[in-house]
């Protein structure tokens, strides 16, 4: 109640042994009565009439998203979830006209099970009868974009390709739709939409055709934002667009779509949106592992979730090795020898203090078909730091710092 300076718990609490069962995805506050709340998540939908002190369960359907009508605060749209790994729940779109007390399922044409998993919703600010539903498939790629232009009475599938949730050009299969998925309608044009998965795409004809708007290249010289888009928003107070992703928060005056061939040339195309990274100073990075230098106290290597591996030397930081930074080690006697890694056991080595890295995990014979943990452990032998041990499905020993490996188990 004081702008975030202090916090106190509400009456909505969960048994934490339920793990993801307690995940809250949306909280809606009635703009005309701050005591009226709607909370939604994997636990279902709950409402409160007293500012969160007490709650009523409306449904236990697993919820992915809830969006509020911009002009009529009592009108809400919700999307329910089907979870493939659990074979639980049902995918669908629902509407409430009494601020969440009662709900009606809409006939959007999305199968309840076995086709779509996550659905994200967006309402057009300029014409709220336009509602979009972005759905991901069983393999977490693009299932389809659906739209109503009459407030939910009738729906049309606008497109199911290209795969705008794919890692690259949209021509492949799969994606990360159950992890990163978001959609936004332009504030002045109900046909202009933006979607986020791994990268950013957009459409100027209501989702019939698509153009890439940003591709994550990991290079600060490219006009692109970080990968894995979780939320897109427009702020009418400063007339800027905001993107929340695994790299933090970025903003832009306008999101500019690439040309029709941008997706095919994603790795070289120069996207025109001028993004400003505003995450500096936010203490939001998560680090998996930390390796200290014995020879140069204060120097270190650390792996950050979704934000590469970082080295600190002489008080200065630099990013090395892309992907999710994982385990890292610095040779205790020769600080020019540094080991870093990223997800699923890809290990790289530097012999010039981190200026350049080369992969050493590929020195394990491919025919061994080794599998690795997300964060793969490795270590240097305490009495002989030229010897490296790596734990995949089997344990490996390198007597020469990674040039060759011997299987021990």
Cβ atoms of 405 and 363 within 8 Å: the answer is: yes
pLDDT at residue 399 above 90?
yes
At residue 265 the predicted structure's pLDDT band, cuts being 50, 70 and 90, is: confident
Picking from 120, 122, 228, the residue whose alpha carbon sits closest to that of residue 180 is 228
Contact 408, 367 (CB under 8 A): no
pLDDT for residue 277: 92
Q: What is the 3-state secondary structure (H, E, C) of the chain?
A: CCCCCCCCCCCCCCCHHHHHHHCEEEEEECCCCCCCEEEEECCEEEEECCCCCCCEEEECCCEEEEEECCCCCCCEEEEEEEECCCCEEEEEEEEECCCCCCCEEECCCCCCCCCEEEEEEEECCCCCCCEEEEEEECCCCEEEEEEECCCCCCCEEEECCCCCCCCCCCCCCCCCCCCCCEEEECCCCCCCEEEECCCEEEECCCCCCCEEEECCCCCCCCCCCCCCEEEEEEECCCCEEEEEECCEEEEECCCCCCCCCCCCCCCCCCCCCCCEECCCCCCCCCEEEEEECCCCCCCEEEEECCCCEEEEECCEEEEECCCCECCCEECCCCCCCEEEEECCCEEEEECCCCCCCEECHHHCCHHHCCCCCCCCCEEEECCEEEEEEEECCCEEEECCCCCCCEECC
pLDDT-derived band at 322 (thresholds 50, 70, 90) equals confident
- Specify the pLDDT at position 263: 86
Kindly report the length of the chain: 409
Q: Give, in order, the Cα–Cα distances in Å from 230 to each of 146, 251, 317.
A: 19, 14, 27
CA distance 124 to 74: 16
Mean per-residue pLDDT of the chain: 94
Cα 314 from chain centre? 33
Reported as a pLDDT band with limits 50, 70 and 90, residue 31 is very high
Mean pLDDT of 261-284: 88
CA distance 192 to 134: 14
Structure tokens at 174: 């799969």
CA 170 – CA 199 distance, rounded (Å): 10
pLDDT, position 266: 82
CA distances from 210 to 163, 195, 260, 283, 343 (A): 10, 10, 8, 35, 31
Please tell me the distance from the alpha carbon of residue 45 to that of residue 356, in angstroms, as a whole number. 51
Average pLDDT over residues 137-162: 98
- The domains found in the chain, sorted by start residue, are 19-277 (2.130.10.10), 287-407 (2.130.10.10)
Sign for the CA dihedral angle at 9, 10, 16, 22 comes to: negative
Asked if the model's pLDDT at residue 152 lies above 80, the reply is yes
- Say what the pLDDT of residue 136 is: 98
């Amino acid at each position: 109640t004081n702008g975030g300076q202090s916090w106190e718990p509400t009456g909505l609490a969960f048994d934490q042994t339920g793990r993801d069962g307690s995940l809250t995805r949306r909280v809606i506050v009635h703009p005309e009565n701050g005591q009226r709340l709607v909370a939604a998540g994997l636990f279902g939908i709950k409402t409160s009439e007293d500012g969160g002190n007490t709650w009523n369960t409306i449904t236990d359907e697993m919820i992915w998203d809830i969006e509020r009508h911009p002009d009529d605060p009592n009108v809400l749209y919700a999307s329910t979830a089907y979870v493939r790994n659990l074979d639980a729940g049902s995918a669908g779109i629902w509407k409430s006209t009494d601020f969440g007390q009662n709900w009606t399922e809409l006939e959007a044409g999305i199968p309840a099970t076995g086709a779509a998993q996550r659905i994200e919703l967006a309402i057009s600010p300029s014409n709220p009868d336009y509602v979009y539903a972005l759905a991901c498939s069983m393999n977490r790629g693009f299932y389809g974009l659906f739209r109503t232009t009459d407030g939910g009475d009738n729906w049309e599938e606008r497109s199911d390709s290209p795969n705008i949730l794919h890692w690259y050009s949209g021509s492949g299969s799969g994606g990360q739709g159950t992890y990163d998925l978001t959609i936004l309608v332009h504030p002045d044009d109900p046909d202009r939409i933006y979607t986020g998965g791994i990268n950013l795409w957009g459409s100027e004809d209501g989702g019939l055709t698509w153009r890439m708007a940003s591709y994550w290249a990991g290079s600060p010289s490219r006009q692109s934002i970080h990968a894995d888009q979780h939320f897109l928003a427009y702020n009418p107070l400063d007339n800027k667009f905001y993107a929340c992703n695994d790299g933090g928060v970025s903003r832009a005056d306008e999101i500019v779509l690439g040309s029709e061939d941008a997706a095919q040339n994603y790795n070289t195309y120069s996207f025109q949106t001028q993004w400003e990274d505003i995450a500096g100073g936010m203490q939001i990075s998560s680090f998996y592992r930390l390796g200290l230098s014995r020879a140069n106290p204060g120097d270190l290597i650390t792996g950050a979730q979704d934000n590469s591996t970082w080295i600190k030397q002489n008080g200065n930081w630099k990013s090395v090795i892309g992907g999710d930074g994982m385990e890292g080690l610095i040779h205790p006697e020769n600080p020019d020898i540094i080991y870093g890694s990223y997800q699923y056991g890809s290990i790289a080595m530097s012999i010039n203090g981190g200026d350049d890295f080369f992969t050493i995990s590929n020195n394990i014979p491919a025919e061994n078909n080794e599998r690795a943990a997300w964060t793969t452990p490795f270590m240097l032998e305490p009495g002989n730091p030229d010897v490296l041990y790596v734990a995949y499905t089997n344990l490996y020993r390198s007597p020469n710092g990674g040039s060759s490996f011997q299987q021990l188990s």
